[in-house]
Amino acid sequence: MENIDGHWFVETPAGRAGFAFTEPNEFGVLDHEVTLPSGDVIYNPMRVVPNGDGCEVVFTLHRLPDMSDEDFERDAGLVQADLTRLKQLMEAAR
């Protein structure tokens, strides 16, 4: 993973993908766009919401047009794995 001028890039099995997050803000908004190796751009709403002495992360996964059930389930699994890893990292930092 590398950061070039505030844009993150990662190598995936399909090729290089880019990530651009919204500017840092006080509202817990972590919306971001993912640029796929094909050049398609996907908008991903994401929020961090305070809850007691912790927080909740809310991520909206959109089903893309013409996406098969299998591809959508794969994407959902990848998002779940990312959120699980985030949870582990945050709990370890407590």
The pLDDT assigned to 6 comes to 77
Between 6 and 66, residue with greater pLDDT: 66
The pLDDT assigned to 13 comes to 86
Residue range 60-75: average pLDDT? 94
CA distance 55 to 53: 7
Nearest C-alpha neighbor of 37 from the set 60, 59, 10: 10
Chain position carrying tokens 């994401």: 46
The pLDDT assigned to 33 comes to 95
If you write DSSP's letter for every residue of 34-90 in order, what string do you get?
EE-TTS-EEEE-EEEEEETTEEEEEE--PPPTT--HHHHHHHHHHHHHHHHHHHHHH
Distance of CA 82 to the CA centre of its chain: 8
The pLDDT assigned to 14 comes to 87
The pLDDT tens digits of the residues spanning 13-60 come to: 889 999 999 999 999 999 999 999 999 999 999 999 999 999 999 999
Token pair recorded at residue 86: 């985030």
Contact present, 53 and 62 (Cβ < 8 Å):
no
The pLDDT assigned to 63 comes to 94
